[in-house]
């Protein structure tokens, strides 16, 4: 589960929102248990410590007349239920491996609507959630004015063994908007706007010694996903155009500080950097690669590296970006991927034919030769540089000509007109 992409099927049926992307991966088993233990020692939440030591493997545990879990550790709840005499559950917004997300009325805040993530009553998911809470608390203290496009935690609490985290209620994820729009690409003006906010937010994380490690379209949400609908007679279908492309980054369940243990595998498959696949170690630059993959997906409407096999993934990279540098191949611990100093790959095999059919050199994906398109592809190419040491930094990315084609100060961005 840690190494493959989670299911992208949303479960919110009645609303134009989908919040299971808030932290789909926050309960993934690849989080280091050592890292969780270290973090928990630093915390002083004794009420959490006592609950986390319980055994939670028996099924359908009824702890009181009103609090019960199902077979998978989810809290059993109903519309109208109240948590902490404050949060009134309205409906389920989504579900993931970590638990469920519900829309609630916050009766302590003038009836404001919030998204409440209810973590499964299972040790490993609770530990990961507490790590996320710590990160979110730190980010909130560092960004009190909400100048950066990172989701803000409003509250958190332990509810009979379920860690619950309240967030501002946002719109659809960028992936779900693509999906509901028949995977039509975003307009390049919207890509520029979203890219600037994403890069600026991730740069903020990096400046504070934090790597997100799981950037993907599912973890980037629109603040408001309202849209205009227009009929396309050529395609014989309705197509949606966003009213406002402002976004926020979510899911800090796998975010890692520089000083913390770095697990060998990070990122969802399609957005995973080559140094991670080759087991060369990773740093902030793995986020930069992920952002490059996200931007090309916004441009194409589809994932660039559609595979679930590491060697095939590397072969796709070579098809799109050229040969992997010899110095990286020489250093890899994954010797089974290498033969005579090159990627051990047969282009005439069935997998080789699949790669040739589904991948082509990066510039061949350009749908228009206009200046904005050329600058976007130059930016993406530099973000997807194989060697992390040569990969574009996010400081450099913000100064790229792609963003100087228009005045960034004119763009409506999250909480700030400050360009950096």
**Options 18, 69, 106, 214, the catalytic residue:** 214
Annotate the chain with three-state secondary structure: CCCCCCCCCCCCCCCCCCCHHHCCCCCCCCCCHHHHHHHHHHCCCHHHHHHHCCCCCCCCCECCCCCEECCCCCECCCCCCEECCCEEEEEEEEEECCEEEEEEEECCCCCEEEEEEEECCCHHHHHHHHHHHHHHHHHHHHCCCCCCCECCEEEEEEECCEEEEEEECCCCEHHHHHHHCCCCCCCHHHHHHHHHHHHHHHHHHHHCCEECCCCCHHHEEECCCCEEEEEECCCCEEEEEECCCCEEECCCCCCEECCCCCCCCCCCHHHCCHHHHCCCCCCCHHHHHHHHHHHHHHHHCCCCCCCCCHHHHHHHHHHHHCCCCHHHHHHCCCHHHEECCEECCCCCCHHHHHHHHHCCCHHHHCCCCCHHHHHHHHHHHHHCCCCCCCCCCHHHHHCCHHHHCCCHHHCCCCCCCCCC
Q: Catalytic residue at 16?
A: no
Is there a binding annotation on residue 117?
A: yes
Q: Which of the residues are catalytic?
A: 214
Give binding residues for ATP as ranges: 117
Give binding residues as ranges: 117
């Amino acid at each position: 589960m840690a190494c493959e992409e989670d299911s992208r099927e949303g479960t919110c049926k009645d609303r134009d929102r989908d919040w299971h992307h808030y932290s789909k991966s926050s309960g993934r088993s690849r989080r280091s248990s050592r890292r969780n233990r270290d973090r928990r020692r630093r915390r002083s939440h004794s009420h959490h410590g006592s609950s986390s030591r319980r055994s939670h493997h028996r099924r359908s545990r009824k702890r009181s007349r009103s609090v019960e879990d199902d077979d998978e550790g989810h809290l059993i709840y109903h519309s109208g239920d109240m948590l902490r005499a404050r949060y009134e559950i309205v409906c389920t917004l989504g579900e993931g491996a970590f638990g469920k997300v519900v829309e609630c009325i916050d009766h302590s805040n003038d009836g404001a609507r919030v998204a409440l993530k209810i973590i499964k009553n299972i040790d490993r998911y609770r530990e990961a959630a507490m790590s996320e809470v710590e990160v979110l608390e730190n980010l909130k203290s560092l960004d009190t004015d909400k100048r950066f496009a990172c989701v803000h935690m409003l509250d958190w609490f332990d509810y009979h063994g379920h860690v619950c985290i309240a967030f501002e209620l946002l719109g659809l994820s960028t992936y779900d908007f693509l999906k509901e729009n028949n995977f039509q690409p975003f307009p390049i003006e919207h890509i520029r706007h979203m890219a600037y906010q994403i890069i600026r937010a991730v740069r903020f994380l990096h400046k504070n010694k934090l790597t997100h490690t799981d950037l993907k379209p599912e973890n980037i949400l629109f603040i408001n996903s309202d849209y205009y609908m227009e009929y396309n007679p050529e395609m014989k279908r309705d197509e949606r155009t966003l009213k406002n492309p402002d976004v926020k980054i979510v899911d800090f369940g796998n975010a890692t500080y520089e000083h913390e243990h770095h697990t060998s595998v990070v990122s969802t498959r399609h957005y995973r950097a080559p140094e991670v696949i080759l087991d060369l170690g990773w740093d902030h630059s793995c986020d930069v690669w992920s952002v490059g993959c996200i931007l090309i997906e916004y441009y194409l409407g589809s994932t660039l590296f559609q595979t679930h096999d590491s060697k095939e993934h590397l072969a796709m990279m070579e098809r799109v970006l050229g040969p992997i540098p010899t110095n990286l191949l020489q250093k890899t611990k994954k010797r089974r991927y290498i033969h005579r100093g090159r990627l051990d790959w047969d282009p005439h095999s069935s997998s080789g034919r699949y790669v040739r059919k589904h991948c082509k050199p990066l510039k061949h994906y350009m749908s228009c030769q206009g200046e904005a398109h050329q600058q976007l592809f130059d930016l993406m190419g530099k973000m997807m540089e194989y060697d992390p040491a040569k990969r574009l930094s996010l400081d450099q990315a913000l100064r790229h000509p792609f963003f100087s084609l228009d005045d960034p100060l004119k763009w409506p961005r999250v909480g700030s007109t400050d360009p950096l």
